[in-house]
Amino acid sequence: MLSVVDIERRNSPLKQTSEEFTLIQAAAHRAEVLRRNPQAFTCEERQIVRRGEWALQQLLYAHRGLILRLVTAYRSKGYNDNCDLEQEATLAFFDAVVSYDPAKGAQLSTWAYFQIRACLQKLTGANIHQAVAAAKLMQSEPAISDPEPIQEQGFLERLRSIMHELTLKQQQVVSLHLEGWSWSEIALKLQSTADAVRMRWNRAVQRLRLLLVPGLI
């Protein structure tokens, strides 16, 4: 899987230039027009939509390598859903362009990487085994003797049912880490530091362990 450094260095021929920024703005203006008045466009609005569609195609061409590498990575792991992963990844890229905020400091390629990967993980169910493995580790502390076998689906449902007991930040960290995100990736997404993310994970795991195993101190 690509690292954040790989994404920043290799992804886009545009390299976050003023040209790319102009294209991103055009795509965002298109989205605004479509949300505001999807059926009766003025002549000016039609031009905005056409420019935005052209901009999206240019951005897609520039970042197509990122999309194909992510899709290939999931296919190579043996995921073979009926859905078209490449098409869904492309739609996720378009959504990433519209929601991208350059003021947050990340390049478009980095933001798109996270959005596309989240989309593919949701479609393929790629996080199920990581979640179960992490849950088993949570119950394998020395204080717990002879834990009973965990039924994957039932346990995950139980885990989801108590996630609301965590703070919002803790929920985000747990969900992303169980999906395979690294501390540095989570820190970038949440605009935090890797150490702060790790601390939230540790506190969340302690809280979940107490809730999952009543009477454990």
In the chain, the domains with their CATH numbers are 4-124 (no CATH), 128-212 (1.10.10.10)
Between the CA of residue 99 and those of 25, 28, 59, 108, what are the distances in Å? 11, 8, 14, 10
Residue with the larger pLDDT of the pair 170 and 1: 170
Q: What pTM does this model have?
A: 0.54
What is the C-alpha separation between 66 and 112, in angstroms, rounded?
9
pLDDT tens per residue across span 162-194: 777 778 888 888 888 877 788 877 877 887 777
pLDDT tens per residue across span 92-109: 899 899 889 888 778 888
pLDDT tens per residue across span 23-79: 999 999 988 887 776 567 788 888 998 899 999 999 999 999 999 998 888 776 655
Residue 2's pLDDT is 47
Residue with tokens 């194909």: 68
State the greatest distance between any 2 C-alpha atoms of the chain, in Å, as a whole number.
72
pLDDT tens per residue across span 111-142: 899 889 888 877 766 444 444 445 544 444 44
Contact 162, 212 (CB under 8 A): yes
For residue 42, which amino acid is it?
A: T
